[in-house]
Amino acid sequence: MSEEYSSDNLYEQFAQVMNQTQDLVSKMEQLQAKIIAISEENVELSIENKHLRQMIKEKQPHHSENQLSGSRQNLKELYQQGFHVCSEYYGKRLEPNESCTFCLDAIFGHEQGMTK
């Protein structure tokens, strides 16, 4: 009788391990599905983020020197050499360390107004 009891016990243990294994496989499949869904969402959000950054970059005004037109760049160079480029005092010498709001407006102001 003890042999029967031990084989029944062995079968119960095997059935229990089998159930635990099936539960584990089921949980692993659920985790895998969640990982796939999160990975897909991550890729979608990364693509969307890239597009939004590109749109923001395109919408922001560029204030760098390279964005000035050729004629405005020439005016800037003349101004840096010490000459007025505004219509009020065009061609006159700037005093040392003098700045002119009219000249700066002629170089940078109108172009900024046009892009808005």
Q: What is the pLDDT of residues 63-101, one digit of tens each?
A: 555 577 888 888 888 898 889 999 888 889 988 888 899
Going from N- to C-terminal start, the domains of the chain cover 1-60, 70-108
Question: How far apart are the C-alpha atoms of 7 and 91, rounded to whole Å?
Answer: 110
Question: pTM of the predicted model, to two decimals?
Answer: 0.43
User: Contact, 76 vs 68, CB < 8 A?
Assistant: yes
User: In one letter, which amino acid is 108?
Assistant: F
pLDDT of residue 56: 87
Instruction: Find the farthest-apart pair of alpha carbons in the chain and give their distance in angstroms, rounded.
Output: 120
Is the separation of the CB atoms in 84 and 107 below 8 Å? no
* Alpha-carbon torsion (56, 61, 66, 67), positive or negative: positive
More confident position, 5 or 21: 21
